[in-house]
Amino acid sequence: MLISALIKILAAAAAAYIIGSIPTGYIVVKSFTGQDIRTIGSGSTGATNVKRVMGKKWFFIVLLLDALKGAVPVLTAKFLPFFQISSVKFAGIAAVVAAIFVLLGHSKSIFLGFTGGKSVASGVGTILALSPMVGLSIAVIWAVITYVSKFVSLGSIIALALSPFLMFLFGEPVSYIAYCTIGAIYVIYLHRENIKRLIAGTENKVR
């Protein structure tokens, strides 16, 4: 039983990491402009940096693709029979592990020499897959704060920081709350340079 559970968890982790590693923003920019997005702006492969090169339309396209990239592995681990673990001790853990490894894949892509984005859209995708209501709430919070402040990074940091509290308020499992706590800390860490610029008043605003 334990070996079977570990195999399923490891399989979920590996699949999620590979899918998370697909560098959506890099592929889009490289395909249409021939440029390496890692040499532009912040160097991130995320939607915000894509916007600097290709405009608002591609910002939303990459945002959606990254969110789907986050949601698909988690939904697969959550509902595909192969990943179901009968033990109460391990119930639902495959989906949480998949969520963690999606974040790692997006930010440390195996296809880009372990570089990548800041895992915001893919992170929201994982949360949507775990708890649609919490995911939608976070998306709304992100949109409102970004619209009012004009800082994508600020909206991202606050929205993800609130995610564990929202999981708790919506009565979701402890494992989901723990994931959001870990994920929020990781995403905020990836935004450490943005935080310095926000404090210094030099962070780029949405145009």
Task: Chunk the chain into consecutive blocks of 10 residues (it has 207) and report each block's average pLDDT, rounded to whole numbers.
Answer: 80 95 96 92 89 91 96 92 65 88 96 94 96 96 95 95 97 94 96 94 83
Q: How many domains does the chain have?
A: 1
What is the residue range of 146's domain? 2-200
User: Tell me, what's the pLDDT at 41?
Assistant: 83
User: Is 19 domain-assigned?
Assistant: yes
CA 157 to CA 120: how far, in whole Å? 9
User: Is 206 domain-assigned?
Assistant: no
User: Is 205 domain-assigned?
Assistant: no
User: Is 207 domain-assigned?
Assistant: no
Q: For 114, which DSSP code?
A: S
User: Is 161 domain-assigned?
Assistant: yes
Of 63, 29, 76, which is closest to residue 146 (Cα–Cα)? 63
Predicted model pTM: 0.92
User: Tell me, what's the pLDDT at 204?
Assistant: 85
User: Is 43 domain-assigned?
Assistant: yes
Half-sphere exposure of 132 (CA within 13 A, CB side): 1
Give, in order, the Cα–Cα distances in Å from 80 to each of 5, 72, 94, 122, 153.
14, 11, 11, 20, 34
Residues constituting the chain: 207
Beta bridge partners of 109: 115
User: Is 109 domain-assigned?
Assistant: yes
